Structure 1
Amino acid sequence: MLPFLTPLKITKIIQKLTRNMTWPAMFGLIIMQAAITYVLFVLANERALIEHPLQFFYYNMVVVSTVGFGDFSPQTSFGRLIVAFWQIPSGLIVFASFIGKTTQLFIDIARKNMNGSNDFSHLTGHILLFCWDKHSTKQVIQLILGDKKRHNRQILLCVTEDMENPFPEIDEVSFAKLDSFSDTQELDRVGLKTAQRIIIDGSTDDETLSIALSIATFTDKNANITAHFFDESKAKLLKIHCPYIECSIDNSAQIMVRSMQDPGSSQVTERLLSTLNGATLYSILIPDLITDTSFGELFKTFKQRYDMILIGFSKDKSGNDMSLNPTNDAIVSAGYHLYYIANERLYVEDIDWQDIN
């Protein structure tokens, strides 16, 4: 070995070559090493090593990986020279390059997951969170995952802040760092058009409004989109331009007053909104096969058969025409959204609608 080619320098050279090598080139190098070795063994008349292609592949992999089981070996002097001066040196280079390339692949995946540069355009039916707050975002994710019968939707946290993935330990949560919430290429990267659930909770009401208006044109019209505001006027402004987006308003003042007037009401509100403890609030869409039915009949049937308590209904998905505690003779039909309290979520297919109708 030349004095200036130390093992450390050789390792660095291999790492540099591996980093710049494409995967097709990597597999081409593996095939070339095996092919040359096979031809040399043919010339050396090493019949035992080349009798079956699978046997040669096994032997070559054992040699280049330095495992050396010893169950196969060259029998001729020429064959031993081939192993000593070609198969082992070339195999070590190829094997080291492959290990380095594979290691670099996993490092790149981990790095992209941490810095938010991964491409998520392949996702469908996922949940987008356009928000970041050290405390509230974590709570939002806990509440989503707390739904015992939630669909297995991937959660994608989207931010513009200069930060790394705050939830690397949660498999259901991915992380994307965007340059801007108004960049269409960035929105395509997070699969905006195919997302089925979207939460917008900016650091300020102005940011929330800006994000909502930016993404409104590109979202699936059937997607459930909600935006959180502190200022009711900003929420009303968004509803004018995007009536299908559901706006939630900070209600801390209302809860405080109700707690003063009706002790324990804050706990009721918390339980109705949380998926982490016992019964909570859900909604379900009445399927097309249901004709006009009285609310009272549905209330009785759902309570007796499914232990659900119906509390209201709405024709609009966003609840703009909500009717809470309606009369028993109020009529509901296909396409209405029912709101109920239950220990766990029920889907349309969990209910025998034919029997109800």
Structure 2
Amino acid sequence: MPILYRLLVKFYREFLELKWWLLCLAGLAFFAISWLLFHVAGEEELTSNFSVYVYFAATTASTVGYGDYSPQTEAGRLVAALWFFPGSLLIFSAALGWLAGSMVERIRRMADGYGNYENMKGATVIVGYNRDHTHLMIENLIAGQDGDDKIVLLTKSSEAELAEGVYLVKAERLDALASLKRAAIRQANKVLVYAGSDAETFNTCLAIRELNETLHIAAFFDDRDTARRAAQIAGLEAIVSNASEALVRAAQDPGAGNILMALSAANVGATIYSAAVGGTVSITALTAALANNDASLIALSGPGDSDYRFLPFPEHLHVGGSFYYLCSARLTAKQISKGLGDVPVIV
């Protein structure tokens, strides 16, 4: 008896919560009983063909009511009026309500930062939220025209204000693997880390590298030594504030500080962009190809090099090398490669 009582209580709770399995079971039972009643009532046209019965049940339950199939016998009409019409409407309404409720709940969870974007491919992920800088980062990502159409923000902040189209993921810890997975790190295109402290940034970068060994990571650090260690251990591009250098440049060369700021922002004047070559190219040809697009070559780096070459440049840039140029907008590979012959350009 206690077992039966517990089963009844569980069934009652599931019924009140409109569990999907219970809804499916009730729907199957109702339409099976209805078919039996119509069959007994002599409605051969409705019950002799399975597809006809399903069609009749669907059009009736959804209130479409085409009328091309309907009960013909008096008994069949009574079954329809007293049993099938109210029951099918109840089942259809309950199913529609469950579906709508599930969709609303999913949308609400995503808006509140509890969605799961693990299967999203090619996303740009921002880890950490700063009220003064994150919005500017998003603006520059979009202005940089580098395919950043899917931006995911992973944050601990409960007061994060998002730009339109940015996906939000909230977590208690930025370096938690489960949270990073939800934020699409495994299949991301690039990630920017701007956490509350260098220690948190370091740990987060290590966790990201654990999930994705090839992902390009750009991380901000306050301390230069920590930045250097993080770059060596986690294989990332560490950014350290150059405020002191910019301040000296502004003092010694008026206007230089503003120029440095403009070169870093994709939505202000000319900006520094990068690309790589898939073959050996002469610097003369590369400089001419860029000039044809109103761009200027400013630096080079060889394959695997951590140092950068400025003027005077070597005669050639070899396969896998990168070049950096100034332009008002990012150039496409097709625009640059027009003057380089068969050498492919990777942007």
Using the size of structure 2 for normalisation, the TM-score is 0.82
Partners of 1:14 and 1:96 within 8 A in 2:
no
Partners of 1:18 and 1:97 within 8 A in 2:
no
Partner of 1:340: 325
Partners of 1:15 and 1:100 within 8 A in 2:
no
Partners of 2:124 and 2:148 within 8 A in 1:
no
The alignment status of 1:88 with 2:79, answered yes or no, reads: no
Answer with 347-356 or 326-335: which moved more.
347-356
Give the SS at the match of 2:341.
helix
Give the SS at the match of 1:213.
helix
For residue 327 of structure 1, report the CA deviation from its aligned partner.
1.8
RMSD, aligned α-carbons? 3.1
User: Could you list the per-position Cα deviations for residues 15-46 of structure 1 after superposition, in whole angstroms to 9, with x for gaps in the alignment?
Assistant: 97374513x55445444434433343333233
Q: Which one of 331, 337, 349 corresponds to residue 316 of structure 2?
A: 331
| Structure 2: stretches of 5+ with no match in the other structure | 1-10
Partners of 1:158 and 1:178 within 8 A in 2:
yes
The alignment status of 1:126 with 2:149, answered yes or no, reads: no
The alignment status of 1:321 with 2:314, answered yes or no, reads: no
Q: Which one of 152, 155, 158 corresponds to residue 159 of structure 1?
A: 155
User: Could you list the per-position Cα deviations for residues 54-92 of structure 1 after superposition, in whole angstroms to 9, with x for gaps in the alignment?
Assistant: 554444334323455656543322112111222122212
Partners of 1:46 and 1:79 within 8 A in 2:
yes
Cα distance change of structure 1 residues 278 and 35 upon mapping to structure 2, 3 Å threshold: farther
Partner of 2:7: none
Cα distance change of structure 1 residues 302 and 109 upon mapping to structure 2, 3 Å threshold: same
| Structure 1: stretches of 5+ with no match in the other structure | 1-12
Q: Which one of 243, 246, 252 corresponds to residue 261 of structure 1?
A: 252
The alignment status of 1:200 with 2:193, answered yes or no, reads: yes
1:190-229 to 2 correspondences below 5 Å = 190-221=183-214, 223-229=215-221
For residue 228 of structure 1, report the CA deviation from its aligned partner.
0.7
Partner of 1:234: 226
User: Could you list the per-position Cα deviations for residues 95-149 of structure 1 after superposition, in whole angstroms to 9, with x for gaps in the alignment?
Assistant: 121122112111221222133222222123222211111231121112112233x
Cα distance change of structure 1 residues 271 and 29 upon mapping to structure 2, 3 Å threshold: farther
Identity of aligned residues (%): 23
For 1:278 and 1:26, the matched residues in 2 are separated by 60
The alignment status of 1:297 with 2:285, answered yes or no, reads: yes
For residue 341 of structure 1, report the CA deviation from its aligned partner.
1.7
The alignment status of 1:60 with 2:57, answered yes or no, reads: yes
The number of equivalent residue pairs is 332
Q: Where does structure 1 differ by over 6 angstroms across 4 or more consecutive aligned residues?
A: 13-16
For 2:18 and 2:30, the matched residues in 1 are separated by 19
For 1:307 and 1:335, the matched residues in 2 are separated by 24
